[in-house]
Amino acid sequence: MANIGSFTASGNGFSGTIKTLNLNVKASIRAVERASEKGPDFRILSGNVEFGAAWKKKSTEGREYLSVKLDDPSFPAPIYATLIEVENESDLSLIWSRPNRD
């Protein structure tokens, strides 16, 4: 797992930064009205450019989190991550992990 972002709650979403080897942007995660049952709960933007979406989820332990998908034509493939509260930290962390391909 790798921490690729740090966010704080703000208004109707979250604001923070996303940093990877190729990406270093200020981003906002804004709540949106769902267009369909499978539609996202949030849109992810850098400035006016939308490059992701997020869905509200709940873990088996009952903890709420956001399931995040980031995508851009410059990416070789979408990035999937989880925005979670980390114990003893005031910010939320955007955690990325590569799925097993066994």
Tell me how far apart the alpha carbons of residues 93 and 84 are, in angstroms, rounded to a whole number. Answer: 5
**Is residue 101 assigned to a domain?**
no
Tell me how far apart the alpha carbons of residues 82 and 92 are, in angstroms, rounded to a whole number. Answer: 10
Total of domains in the chain = 1
The total of other beta-carbon atoms located within 10 Å of residue 99's CB is 6
**Is residue 70 assigned to a domain?**
yes
**Is residue 15 assigned to a domain?**
yes
Residue 74 makes CB contacts below 8 A (sequence gap 6+) with 22
**Is residue 50 assigned to a domain?**
yes
**Is residue 58 assigned to a domain?**
yes
**Is residue 102 assigned to a domain?**
no
**Is residue 36 assigned to a domain?**
yes
- pTM for the structure as a whole: 0.88
pLDDT per residue as tens, the chain (102 positions): 699 999 999 988 999 999 988 889 999 999 999 888 899 999 999 999 999 999 999 999 999 999 999 998 888 889 999 999 987 777 999 999 776 655
Per the structure, the complete domain to which residue 44 belongs is given by 2-96
